[in-house]
Amino acid sequence: MCGIAGLFDLEGRRDFSRDLVTRMSDVQYHRGPDEGGYHFEPGVALAHRRLSIIDLATGQQPLFNEDHTVAVVFNGEIYNYQSLVPELQALGHVFRTHSDTEVIVHAWEAWGEACVERFRGMFAFALWDRNRQTLFLARDRLGVKPLFYGVMKDGSFAFGSELKVLMAHPGLDRRIDPLAVEEYFALGYAAEPRTIFKGAAKLDPGHTLTLRRGQPIPASRPYWDVRFTLDNPISLDDAVAELNERLHESIRLRMISEVPLGAFLSGGVDSSAVVATMADLSSGPVNTCSIGFDDPAFNESEFAKMVADRYHTNHHTETVMSDDFDLIDKLSALYDEPYADSSAIPTYRVCELARKHVTVALSGDGGDESFGGYRRYRLHMMEQRMRDAMPLGLRRPLFGALGYAYPKADWAPRMFRAKTTFQALARDSVEAYFHSVSILRNDLRSQVFSDSFKRELGGYNALEVFRRHAGNAQTDDSLAQIQYLDLKTYLVGDINTKVDRASMAHSLEVREPLMDHPLVEWLAGLPNDLKIRGQEGKFLFKKSLEPVLPNDVLYRPKMGFAVPLARWFRGPLKDRVRERLMGDVMADSGVFDMATLKRMLDDHQSGRRDYSAPLWTLMMFESFLRGGGASIDRSEL
């Protein structure tokens, strides 16, 4: 795993400052502490920080083709590189390393922009072709690896693996994008391609961007999408057999490493499946790492130990105290822009633990999205059956009025929260799902934002992110549609962002076998009853794992990787959250209605309401603002 950075002159061939490029690269030293490399020529600068995983001796970057006219800086892994080498050699290409990176330059020469369609893995790279005067950027299909870019005030094009790379350039436009703020308070992150800054963007997953000197910057080009056809007539027994084959292949490819390798083991279905398969493929014991919590309501360590004992792994565990909130300000610096998933705290800790023992760890991320594991999927489908029974024109006024009038019951299980159900029934499927996953829902965001900030939004609603993706989903199936939305939004903006930054902060490479794109494509073709059957999510996955995992692991209620926010904000963080949210940083931003923030704090701390997730989201935004890396354009407020 590595970090990349660079500059490109869109018009001429200026010489870029070596000091500037070095600073841009060094701010992500944590992504690659083993080596650093640079390439400078008129109009181009490339930089790379290396975490050595494969071909330790000769895999340095930037890496070139035979005549040094093509150079690449690359973050990630091409898992099928060994099968591409002989194909490229047959076309006349000469390899001088055993690195997966070298496959990229020769694949570019052989297949041009279509080279990315041949790669299986997680990647973000920038390739410079001197003969074509072309800079080519690419990001993997599911957005496992990040890639940021922007045009600086001096007209140069900058890119990097983290937003802090662009922040190291004095020409970045650091004005806050109000639309990104709206997305953040709805979703907990600024959704691709937006960032918190007006001057920076993220390359969308499954997209490439081709820049040619002297030409305008084009729109990025998609090279992949997943299609939920649901038309595979396979039987359950055959599906179980094929899933086992595909899972073994995906994990086998991700176990290629020249450095110590292991896995996260939470005690949930996904990570346990990965560890069981690794054990089957390994000649020796697997290294496993898990985090336990001193609060039993959040502790899964006994289930992780069940799996570790069954497979005789080298198991490492540490207990995180339930008041482990000292990371709050560190997280703000780590993520560079507002990020509101509080499970970033235990994720940071498990990466910290893993790095003491391994350099590469396999994770179970991505399983819920493709296998149908989230409880919210089953609730959405239940509500959708009710929506289908009545036209929207009747539902919206009837259930909208009931949702407005019915009292809110945060304390009750969701199925008994009639207000939430009524609100969902008053909406179409996409809007209802957006409503169900929003941290601050529409009515609360409207109260939290100041009148001047709402004018700046100009009517923009983060729902448009979901509308845009739903328009590309090519399915009307209710489950397939929300799985597609999660693959495009939550998986990328939340899960992959969390794991990338937390792991790279510790120079740890995390690989994701359940996000293998051929596996994702195959699962998207399966009928829904192999994903959710009755009230059982991940039906096929669990059936395939019955011979290798205990029933207590497979069929217990999903716990998640959470922290006790509600208790924190009524107890040990009571004064801190009030001081932060009612302080000058939030008041001076002009974004918030301060009376609403005070009411939320009072209601939560008195026990009248549970505003734990919104308060955390506000607190992380305050921490970002206080970091001083942004400016709010008050001319528009």
Q: Span 311-338, mean pLDDT?
A: 86
Is the torsion defined by CA of 545, 546, 549, 555 positive or negative?
Answer: positive
pLDDT of residue 415 exceeding 70, the answer is no
pTM of the predicted structure, to 2 decimals: 0.93
**Backbone angles phi and psi of 210, in degrees to 5:** -115, 120
Q: Which one is predicted more confidently, 198 or 384?
A: 198
Secondary structure string (H, E, C) spanning 286-302:
CEEEEEEECCHHHCCHH
Mean residue pLDDT across the chain: 92
Q: Span 125-151, mean pLDDT?
A: 98
> Of 96-110, 293-307, 352-366, which range is least confident?
293-307
pLDDT of residue 427 exceeding 50, the answer is yes
> H or E stretch including 64?
strand 63-64
CB-based contact 114:101 (threshold 8 Å) = no
Q: Strands 287-293 and 261-264, how do they pair?
A: parallel
The confidence score (pLDDT) of residue 102 equals 96
Q: Strands 509-511 and 314-320, how do they pair?
A: unpaired
Is 458 buried (19+), middle (13-18) or exposed (0-12) by CB count in 10 A? exposed
CB-based contact 45:61 (threshold 8 Å) = no
Q: Span 94-111, mean pLDDT?
A: 95
Sheet-wide strand order for 261-264: 314-320, 287-293, 261-264, 360-362, 509-511
Q: Measured between alpha carbons, how far is 435 from 437 in angstroms, rounded to an integer? A: 6
Q: Strands 207-212 and 156-160, how do they pair?
A: unpaired
The confidence score (pLDDT) of residue 324 equals 74
Q: Give the pair of three-digit tokens for residue 387.
A: 């929506």
The confidence score (pLDDT) of residue 333 equals 87
Examine the residue annotation and report whether 2 is marked as an active-site residue of this protein.
yes
pLDDT of residue 629 exceeding 70, the answer is no
pLDDT of residue 558 exceeding 90, the answer is no
List the end-to-end C-alpha distance of the chain, in Å, as a whole number. 42
Structural domains in the chain?
3-222 (3.60.20.10), 236-372+490-555 (3.40.50.620), 564-632 (no CATH)
Which pLDDT band holds residue 500 (cuts at 50, 70, 90)?
very high
Q: Point out the catalytic residue in the list 2, 115, 289, 351.
A: 2
- The gap from C-alpha 363 to its chain's centroid, in whole angstroms, comes to 13
Q: Span 545-560, mean pLDDT?
A: 89
Which residues, including other chains, have CB under 8 Å from residue 459's CB and lie 6 or more apart?
Answer: none
Over residues 19-68, the pLDDT tens digits come to: 999 999 999 999 998 889 999 999 999 999 988 776 676 678 999 999 99
**Backbone angles phi and psi of 216, in degrees to 5:** -60, 155
Which residues, including other chains, have CB under 8 Å from residue 22's CB and lie 6 or more apart?
Answer: 38, 47
CB-based contact 445:596 (threshold 8 Å) = no
